[in-house]
Amino acid sequence: MLSGMGTALGEITLVLFTTLAPSGVVAFILMGLPLLRADLAADARRRINQFLSIPLVTAMVGLVASATHLGNPANALYVFLGVGRSPLSTEVFCAVVFLALAGVYWLYSFAERPRVGLQRPWMVLAMAAGIVFVTSVAFAYNAETIVSWYTVYVPLNLWLNALVGGPVLALVGLRAARWEPACGRFGRAALALSTAALAANLVSFGLQSASLPFIENAFLAASDLVPYYGLMIAAFGVLALAGIGLDAQALLGRTQGGRPSAGRRARGRGVRARAGRHLRHALRVLHDAPDGGAGRVGFSRHGGTGCPDRRSRSAPCPATSPGTAPCRRGRTPS
């Protein structure tokens, strides 16, 4: 058990590479989809191009982590000699091609007047290179010499891992770029893709765990090397689901806060309409009231009741009782 855990911790850079690099590539592809639209506004295109740095840096960190397996950095030159016959050499070559296409595209987007007609096919090439890169990583560790790796679950799990983390990372970049559909239909579709990939990933991990006891030699079984594999799968599921949930909560909060629902908009219009009616009524009362009085309905300055109906201002105001002066002085006809 200790030997298996020690081996896993000793290969932490390999874990970082196979987790960060594929997720960064998938995030780059998803962030690049809006850039293929001809009707995308120039300002939105500029912002998305700017924040493509997020998936690019993520993929670069994973690739740098994998370089520690070379021992001496000078050995990197010999890696390219085995392209086509060595899965590791093919993987590194595909990574370099993807990063070259994606990196140069990102740098060109900062030009004073980048040509969109050139950027779109360039982005398509970078996306295709990214798909080839992730596939090469998936099959690089499906090595026949390592029996526990030489199963269908290894390439499947790596692609599913990329589809779990990539959409979440892409939404981070698109929201940073303030692209509105990322908080609408596109964002919901990305989270649905990530959730479906997580469910399939957990099933695949479970099937792989169930097959480990049958992979054995004269000394031990593969399951003995990872005695807590089931617990680690459960922890992975909980943490991944928590990340998707936080992203979904941010999506819902942005939608409700930035765009009120139809009911809230209707209630707001009703409140504004009532306030407008009250204001207009108050202005009419003030306009119709002579000498700052109370208007048609109210009380006179002498304490008596005002005239209930003043259709004609030339008519005298009758006294409320014999001997009482008119309620409005100076209004009686001469």
Each residue's pLDDT tens digit, 151-180: 889 999 999 999 999 999 999 999 999 998
Mean predicted confidence (pLDDT) in 102-119 = 92
Q: If pLDDT is split at 50, 70 and 90, which confidence band does 282 have? A: low
Q: Taking the alpha carbons of 295, 309, 331, 329 in that order, is the dihedral positive or negative?
A: negative
Q: If pLDDT is split at 50, 70 and 90, which confidence band does 76 have? A: low
Task: Find tokens 């941010």 and name the residue.
Answer: 250
> Looking at residue 304, what is its pLDDT?
44
**Does pLDDT of 44 surpass 90?**
yes
Q: Which of 226, 198, 225, 222 is nearest to 211 (CA)?
A: 222
| pTM beyond cutoff 0.85 | no
> Looking at residue 192, what is its pLDDT?
95
**Does pLDDT of 194 surpass 90?**
yes
Q: How many CA atoms, within 13 angstroms, populate the side-chain half-sphere of residue 149?
A: 11
Q: If pLDDT is split at 50, 70 and 90, which confidence band does 291 have? A: very low
Q: If pLDDT is split at 50, 70 and 90, which confidence band does 54 have? A: very high
Percent of the chain at pLDDT exceeding 70 = 69
Q: Which of 302, 301, 331, 303 is nearest to 316 (CA)?
A: 331
Q: Say if residues 277 and 221 touch (Cβ distance below 8 Å).
A: no
Rg (CA), the chain: 36
Please work out, in degrees rounded to the nearest 5, the angle formed at the alpha carbon of residue 309 by the alpha carbons of 305 and 315.
95
Two structure tokens written together for 69: 């397996």
Which parts of 80-228 fold into alpha helices (H)?
87-108, 116-140, 153-176, 185-211, 222-225
> Looking at residue 145, what is its pLDDT?
75
Among the listed ranges 117-121, 179-183, 262-266, which one has the minimum average pLDDT value? 262-266
Q: Point out which residues pair with 305 in neighbouring strands.
A: 299
Q: Which of 62, 67, 227, 79 is nearest to 158 (CA)?
A: 62
